[in-house]
A and B are shown apart, each in its own frame.
Chain A
């Protein structure tokens, strides 16, 4: 029989892991917000997004969360006229990444908020365990 409080710690940890992966993808997107191709007419960096899925752990009997995959975002690339750029095609257009900094920052905030919520649950489960152990303390 699993102790439900330990299950709570495990589930919270799975949430922390999923949100930190999301933060990693956001940082990749922000770092590559200007990465163009090096060959004429080539495709630049494509924005990536994480998708989450609910995974039921049979042994624990609890629903963990896991990153289902890191997908490429399907918005079109930004196009700029810059004929001297190494990635410019025959007409002088350069494809820039479809990374939108504002929505990346919003995504970052949301990941932050979810991470905090998971951390709060872990803290509280630890507190409950500590309260039970304190029953043994004689005073």
Chain B
């Protein structure tokens, strides 16, 4: 059923956007750290293609895989706007623009999900 598929994509993109938001938070928090390189996440299309299978623990004594490390955070290319003398490549303006983009996409996603949800409810109610 294609509607269910839509909900899947919405939640996957929202998850991707949340990872991006936490990456932006890390960049802004380290805006004054010498030598810190700005990070970004890989594009959503690329993340959608990959199935990130994680290992299952078969014994209680196995070390658990920790959370966000399996997500798509990776070192960015040299697309940063400015690199300061201390080797820090975070530009606060660039990060805030990215954060605005995340906000807009997230809003769009939740509105679409809401609209489809209403449609399903409308057909179920009668």
Which of A88-96, A97-105, A120-128 lies at the binding interface? A120-128
Partner of A121, one of B28, B35, B106, B121: B28
Residues of B within 8 A of A110 (CB): 32
Which of A28-36, A37-45, A59-67, A73-81 lies at the binding interface? A59-67
Contact pattern, A 106-135, Cβ under 8 Å of B = 1, otherwise 0: 000010011001101110110110011011
Interface on chain B toward A: helix, strand, loop, or mixed SS? Answer: helix
Partner of A120, one of B14, B99, B102, B110: B99
Query: Quick check: B22 and A8 within 8 Å, CB to CB?
Result: yes
Contact pattern, B 56-70, Cβ under 8 Å of A = 1, otherwise 0: 000000000011110
Once the chains are docked, how many angstroms separate the CA of A117 from the CA of B25?
9
Give the interface size bracket for A toward B: 35 or more
Report the number of A-B residue pairs with Cβ-Cβ less than 8 Å: 127
Say how far A117's CB is from chain B's closest CB, in angstroms: 5
Residue of B nearest to A133 (CB): B110
Partner of A4, one of B33, B34, B36, B68: B68
CB interface residues, B 2-32, toward A, < 8 Å: 14-15, 17-19, 21-22, 24-26, 28-32
Give the interface size bracket for B toward A: 35 or more
Once the chains are docked, how many angstroms separate the CA of A26 from the CA of B77?
35
Residue of B nearest to A53 (CB): B33
Given the known interface contacts A8-B24, A127-B103, A128-B21, the answer about A2 and B29 at a Cβ–Cβ threshold of 8 Å is no
